[in-house]
Amino acid sequence: MTKPRVLITGGAGFLGSHLCERFLADGYEVICMDNLVTGALRNVEHLFADADFHFAHQDVTEFIHVPGRLDVVMHFASPASPIDYLELPIQTLKVGSLGTHKALGLAHAKGARFLLASTSECYGDPLVHPQREDYWGNVNPVGPRGVYDEAKRFAEAMTMAYHRYHGVDTRIVRIFNTYGPRMRLNDGRALPAFMSQALRGEDLTVFGDGSQTRSFCFVDDLVDGIWRLLHSDEVMPTNIGNPSEMTILQFAAKVLELTGSRSRIDFRPLPQDDPKVRQPDISKARRLLGWEPKVTLDDGLRRTFEYFRERMGVVAVAR
């Protein structure tokens, strides 16, 4: 019997690598495509021994050729942290626009189902709280985050156009803050920053007064939600995230407690356009997919901490 085949763009990234594992476990042949700008072979090295895993070192903004059949295209390639957008603004815009176009064109040519990794950043600095899928957002197109937000909004529009005009079978997931093993230690996002600072005995850099909120979802829960969305009939964007909201200061305190670190808080300026609040309304995912997150913050942080400790080669936490 021939196995179903999936292409995962950004497959060597944080989320992409977890998806590669999920598809392999489900009996798929997996083509992992990545230009390794923010992804890393280390994330998928353990999969190379599997005959059903293939790696293509390619930039998805260029013409993509994948020989043979494809049943699913998962478009996850993109820089995904605010400091990456600052360093790679044009690549971020290109992968969201040209890259999405190429990936959709491929899905169309192969008759494959297409799933776009979109984002809560589509809601910008939201004026509606919590965020439901029918909220159109409050995005500054010309600010430093605009390169990501607008690229993903364009990607959603392009996905819907391919669905409506070409009849491509599409799905759109709006991903809220997610954490877990294989985040880059230096990607600048709150969790990797706080954990590596705590492990090094450095003070935790909280931006602004730390009163801005986020809602953090463990990667296994996210992958389960994406999996269910892919296998559902829902074409319109669907939020997947953990609705348990907290301030960034509370989050920093949680990391200090978990790591047993004696580091303090070092307040730094708030980056431009940093959303003041963020919390997914997941009623739609609950209703249509029967999905909700299961991993508690304590469990998720503990599992992530193990990964960071191992990567940093830290034997004892600085107390």
* 271 binds ligand UDP per the rule CB under 6 A: yes
148 is catalytic: yes
Q: How far is the CB of 92 from ligand UDP (least distance, A)?
A: 13
Nearer to ligand UDP, 11 or 275 (CB): 275
Restricted to residues 57-116, the positions that interact with ligand UDP (CB under 6 A) are 81-82
Determine which residue in the list 135, 154, 207, 307 makes contact with ligand UDP, applying CB under 6 A. Answer: 207
Residue type, 22: R
Q: Is 180 left (phi over 0), alpha (psi -120 to 50) or beta?
A: left
Residues 242-261 as x/- pattern, contact with ligand UDP by CB under 6 A:
------x-------------
Nearest alpha-carbon partner for 22 in 84, 72, 89: 72
Q: What are phi and psi of 198, to 5 degrees?
A: -60, -40
Q: How far is the CB of 81 from ligand UDP (least distance, A)?
A: 6
* 52 binds ligand UDP per the rule CB under 6 A: no
Q: How far is the CB of 289 from ligand UDP (least distance, A)?
A: 23
Q: Write the CB contacts of 136 (distance below 8 Å, at least 6 apart in sequence).
A: none
The one segment of 13-21, 103-111, 129-137, 199-207 that binds ligand UDP by CB under 6 A: 199-207
Determine which residue in the list 35, 91, 97, 177 makes contact with ligand UDP, applying CB under 6 A. Answer: 177
Q: How far is the CB of 102 from ligand UDP (least distance, A)?
A: 25
Q: How far is the CB of 252 from ligand UDP (least distance, A)?
A: 7
* C-alpha to C-alpha distance for 113 and 130, rounded to whole angstroms: 30
In the set 28, 148, 162, 179, the catalytic residue is: 148
* 205 binds ligand UDP per the rule CB under 6 A: yes
* C-alpha to C-alpha distance for 56 and 31, rounded to whole angstroms: 7
Parallel, antiparallel or unpaired: strands 265-268 and 204-207: parallel
The dihedral through the CA atoms of 142, 115, 35, 60 has a sign that is negative
* C-alpha to C-alpha distance for 98 and 181, rounded to whole angstroms: 29
Burial of 86 (0-12, 13-18, 19+ CB in 10 A): middle
Crossing angle of the two packed helices 100-110 and 146-166, in degrees rounded to 10: 20
**Residues contacting ligand UDP: total by CB under 6 A:** 14
For residue 271, the 8-state DSSP code is P
* 214 binds ligand UDP per the rule CB under 6 A: yes
Instruction: Tell me the catalytic residues.
Output: 148
Name the residues that contact ligand UDP, by CB under 6 A.
81-82, 177, 189-190, 193, 205-207, 212, 214, 248, 271, 274
